Amino acid sequence: MSTTAKKKSGSPAPPAQTKKDYQTDQEVRWCPGCGDYAILNAVQSVFPQLGIPREKFVVISGIGCASRFPYYMNTYGFHSIHGRAPAVATGVKITNPELEVWVVSGDGDALSIGGNHLIHAMRRNIGLKILLFNNRIYGLTKGQYSPTSEVGKRTKSTPFGSLDRPLNPISLALGSECTFVARSVDVYQKHLMETLKAAAAHAGTAFVEIYQNCNIFNDKAFENFTERSVRAEKNLELEHGKPIRFGADGEMGLHWAGTHFDIVRVADVGEDAIVVHDTGAPHPTLAFALSRLEPPQAPMPIGVFRDIEAPAMETRVWDQIRAVQKQRGTGDLDALLHAGDTWEVRG
C-alpha cells in the first residue's frame, strides 16, 4: 500500500514539512563519527517527504546506543525497556492503527534479549517499521561481542575470540515470514533514504537492517565492501525486475544453480542466465539464498529482498472486533466482571 493510499480520500493534504520539523532541542549525544548520526539524518529527511502529519508518527526504542533516537525525533516517542520495543510498539499500533509506528533497535537489543519479541512481531505482520542498527558489537556497554559478531571476534567478553556463530538478521526476518525485508548502510545516504521510503509504503511489518559503523569499539567493520575502492565489486544492489548484476560495468551476475547462487561472468553465460530479482515472489527461497551472500566470497546484497502483500495484524484485529460487536453488541464490562462462577478463597 502506498503512503498516499493510506490517507482518507477527500482529506486535505497536510502542510509541507521540512527536516527541521523533525529535529528537537535535545543535544545529539553519540560518539563523534558514529554511524547513528547518518541514520538520524536519513530518517529526519525522509519523514517530511511521506506526506503524513507529524503527530501521526511514533518512534519507539529499546536499550542501547540506538535507543536515544526518540529524544532526537520531534514526534511522539517512547524509550522502552531492553528488547521489548516491538512488544510496546505492537500495543501502540493495534490500539491506534492510524499511527505510523517506527521501532529503533540495535543488534544486541533486538537479537539477544529481544529476539523473541522481534520474531513474533514479524510473523504477525503488524504494521511496524523496524530499523535494526547492526554494528556487530555492544557499544553502550563498552565493546562486548553481540549476536551478530563474527566467529573469532576478540572483545572484552571474548578475549580469545568468539566461539558463537552469528545470527543473520535478513535470514531471520525471512524465516519469520516478514513481508518486507531490506538492508542498507549508514554511509549510503541516498540508498538508505530510498529504502526507508519503500519501508514506509509497506502496509505490514517492514524490517530494515542498517549496517552502522561503531568507530569506537568496532571501527571499519564493513570496510570490505563499503570502501570506495571495492564498492563496485563488493556491493550487489538489488532492484526489482532487473537482472542481479554487479561490478564496475555490471560484468558479473548471479545464476541460480538449483540450491544456491553461482557467481558468473555475464559474457560467459549470457544475459538470460542471470536471475531477475523479484521482491514479490510468493516463496522466499531466492531471497533467503541472497541473504547468505557476503564478502569476501561474494558481494554484499543491499536493497529490498522481499516485499509482498498480506493482511496486517491490526487490520485483522479490528475486523474481528467489529464482527463480534455486530453479532453480540458492544458488551458490558461490569456484567462481564460479575458473570459466571466466582471463587471463594478460604484460609
Residue 293 lies in a domain: no
pTM check: above 0.85: yes
Residue 4 has a pLDDT of 42
Kind of pairing between the strands at 100-106 and 128-134: parallel
Q: In tens digits, what is the pLDDT along the chain, a chain of 347 residues? A: 444 444 445 666 667 899 999 999 999 999 999 999 999 999 999 999 999 999 999 999 999 999 999 999 999 999 999 999 999 999 999 999 999 999 999 999 999 999 999 999 999 999 999 999 999 999 998 899 999 999 999 999 999 999 999 999 999 999 999 999 999 999 999 999 999 999 999 999 999 999 999 999 999 999 999 999 999 999 999 999 999 999 999 999 999 999 999 999 999 999 999 999 999 999 999 999 999 999 999 999 999 999 999 999 999 999 999 998 888 888 788 887 888 776 777 87
Beta-bridge mates of residue 105 = 132
Residue 336 has a pLDDT of 77
End-to-end CA, the chain: 59
Residue 102 lies in a domain: yes
Residue 266 lies in a domain: no
Residue 304 lies in a domain: yes
Domain that holds residue 198: 3-242+299-324
What's the number of domains the chain is made of? 1
CATH of residue 77: 3.40.50.970
Residue 95 lies in a domain: yes
Residue 261 lies in a domain: no
Residue 333 has a pLDDT of 82
Residue 227 lies in a domain: yes
Residue type, 147: P
Residue 293 has a pLDDT of 97
The three-state DSSP-derived secondary structure of the chain is CCHHHHCCCCCCCCCCCCHHHHECCCCCCCCCCCCHHHHHHHHHHHHHHHCCCHHHEEEEECCCHHHHHHHHECCEEEECCCCCHHHHHHHHHHHCCCCEEEEEEEHHHHHHHCHHHHHHHHHHCCCEEEEEEECCCECCCCCECCCCCCCCCCCCCCCCCCCCCCCCHHHHHHHCCCCEEEEEECCCHHHHHHHHHHHHCCCCCEEEEEECCECCCECCCCHHHHCCCCHHHHEEECCCCCECEECCCCCEEEEECCCCEEEEEHHHHCHHHCCECCCCCCCCHHHHHHHCCCCCCCCEEEEEEEECCCCCHHHHHHHHHHHHHHHHCCCCHHHHHCCCCCCCCCC
Residue 168 lies in a domain: yes
Residue 310 has a pLDDT of 96
Residue 331 has a pLDDT of 78
